[in-house]
């Protein structure tokens, strides 16, 4: 209830939002831990984690294995599982996480994980309705045996047979469209790639651009990854800078989170910007898109080549072309960051103390208590 008026008519949209944020809150520690360890591993060398490479370093290999092979591997399953949990509780965790794992393994990715979470959560709710007259003496048997088997089977079949193929086709189509720009203006390609990194802050469009960058690296073209990395760095750092420059436009919680965005953004963890951005999508996302697009276009205009597929500013030393190109790369990123922060400052209105209190009451904290400090 808000201001004494029922919110029943808006219950379903709020439930969709709250369950999504529940998944994001629980996903963030995996993204942060995995992403930063990956970034540190690249400081030993781009291929230092590859045992077949002359630059192989066992410490880098260990850090990369923990961060990428485990931390990032759990990101989508955790997201899906806790979206489902936010809808139907503990019984939805198993089908949600398994659905998220299927999404990650079949190329459905982040968006597929979201679908798996909602699918699992609402299927458990349907089962609760169908089994509401279940004999009380058999409730434990229902929860331990019937629900897990039926829900996991249903989610798995839908994810494999319905979701996986169209999502993989969609991602392949996006990569093919981006590849068509290779023979035309590099600046336009950089602008598009940079913008894509900020459109959904780690979602399917972001991941399509990143996949394209990986494909180009394997083909020996390192320009797209520079634009992609720059575009992914801008949103968190830009939002963080906005919370510092325009303190009256953010509540205390967002300002506290903004302080963490400098390190998270510098580590190329674009997903970290989701909690604050989700509270004001129509101002923060467009601002991030513009800043990221400018940064991406500038890296292409300067012909910055980056052979590292992750690592953020920690892989600055591996930018090809020496100190001059490295400084131009930093200039591109900083320009995008400043543009994003200034646009947010111009578009957002000051938040009054009353609005801040109401926001705290209506919206869950985007970070788990363990990360608030």
CA 167/CA 169 separation, integer angstroms: 5
Determine the pLDDT at residue 48.
Answer: 86
Residue entry with tokens 């979701």: 163
Choice between 30 and 344, residue whose per-residue pLDDT is larger: 344
Whole-number CA gyration radius for the chain: 22
CA 206/CA 179 separation, integer angstroms: 15
**pLDDT tens-digit map of 71-93:** 888 988 999 999 999 999 999 99
What is the maximum alpha-carbon separation in the chain?
74
The contacts of residue 222 (CB under 8 Å, 6+ apart) are 216, 305, 306, 307, 320
SS3 59: helix
* Average pLDDT of the segment spanning 335-340: 97
- 49, 65 in Cβ contact below 8 A? yes
User: Minimal CA–CA distance to 76: which of 43, 112, 45?
Assistant: 112
- 301, 324 in Cβ contact below 8 A? no
Residue entry with tokens 């801040």: 356
Determine the pLDDT at residue 182.
Answer: 58
Q: What percent of the chain has pLDDT over 90?
A: 42
For the whole prediction, is pTM greater than 0.85?
A: no
* Average pLDDT of the segment spanning 136-160: 90
Determine the pLDDT at residue 2.
Answer: 42
Going by pLDDT thresholds of 50, 70 and 90, the confidence category of residue 181 is low
Of 28-42, 45-59, 240-254, 281-295, the range with the lowest mean pLDDT is: 28-42
Determine the pLDDT at residue 38.
Answer: 77
Q: What angle do CA 194, 200, 265 make, to 5 degrees?
A: 65
SS3 141: helix
Determine the pLDDT at residue 341.
Answer: 96
Choice between 113 and 355, residue whose per-residue pLDDT is larger: 113
SS3 258: helix
CA 108/CA 100 separation, integer angstroms: 9
User: Minimal CA–CA distance to 364: which of 69, 14, 126?
Assistant: 14
- Most confident range (mean pLDDT) of 68-72, 205-209, 250-254, 356-360 is 250-254
| DSSP for residue 2 | B
Choice between 367 and 245, residue whose per-residue pLDDT is larger: 245
Look over the chain and give the mean of its residue pLDDT values, rounded to a whole number: 84
List the end-to-end C-alpha distance of the chain, in Å, as a whole number: 31
Torsion angle of alpha carbons 103, 264, 327, 290, nearest 10°? 70
Structure-block tokens of residue 21: 């944020």
CA 128/CA 63 separation, integer angstroms: 43
Structure-block tokens of residue 141: 């048997």
* Average pLDDT of the segment spanning 218-239: 89
- 368, 24 in Cβ contact below 8 A? no
Going by pLDDT thresholds of 50, 70 and 90, the confidence category of residue 285 is very high
Choice between 370 and 278, residue whose per-residue pLDDT is larger: 278
- 261, 232 in Cβ contact below 8 A? no
């Amino acid at each position: 209830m808000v201001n004494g008026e029922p919110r029943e008519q808006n219950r379903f949209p709020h439930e969709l939002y709250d369950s999504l944020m529940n998944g994001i809150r629980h996903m963030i520690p995996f993204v942060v831990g995995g992403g930063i360890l990956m970034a540190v591993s690249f400081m030993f060398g781009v291929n230092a984690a590859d045992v077949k490479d002359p630059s192989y370093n066992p410490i880098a290999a260990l850090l990369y294995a923990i961060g990428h092979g485990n931390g990032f591997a759990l990101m989508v399953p955790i997201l899906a599982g806790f979206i489902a949990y936010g809808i139907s509780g503990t019984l939805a965790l198993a089908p949600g996480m398994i659905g998220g794992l299927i999404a990650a393994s079949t190329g459905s990715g982040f968006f597929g994980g979201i679908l798996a979470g909602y699918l699992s959560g609402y299927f458990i709710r349907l089962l609760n309705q169908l089994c509401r007259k279940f004999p009380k003496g058999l409730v434990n048997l229902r929860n331990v045996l019937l629900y897990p088997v039926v829900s996991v089977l249903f989610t798995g079949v839908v994810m494999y047979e319905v979701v996986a193929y169209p999502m993989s086709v969609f991602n392949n189509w996006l990569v093919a469209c981006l590849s068509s720009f290779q023979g035309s203006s590099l600046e336009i390609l950089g602008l598009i790639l940079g913008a894509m990194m900020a459109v959904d802050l780690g979602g399917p469009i972001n991941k399509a651009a990143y996949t394209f960058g990986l494909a180009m690296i394997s083909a020996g073209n390192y320009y797209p990854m520079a634009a992609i990395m720059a575009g992914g760095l801008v949103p968190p750092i830009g939002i963080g800078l906005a919370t510092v420059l325009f303190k009256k436009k953010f509540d205390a919680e967002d300002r506290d989170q903004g302080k963490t965005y400098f390190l998270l953004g510098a580590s190329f963890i674009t997903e970290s910007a989701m909690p604050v951005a989700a509270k004001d999508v129509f101002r923060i996302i467009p601002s991030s898109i513009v800043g990221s697009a400018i940064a991406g276009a500038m890296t292409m205009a300067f012909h910055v080549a980056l052979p590292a597929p992750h690592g953020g500013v920690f892989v600055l030393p591996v930018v090809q072309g020496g100190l001059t190109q490295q400084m131009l790369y930093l200039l591109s990123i900083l320009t995008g960051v400043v543009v994003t922060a200034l646009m947010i400052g111009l578009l957002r209105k000051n938040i009054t103390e009353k609005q801040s209190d109401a926001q705290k009451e209506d919206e869950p904290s985007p970070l788990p208590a363990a990360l608030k400090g």
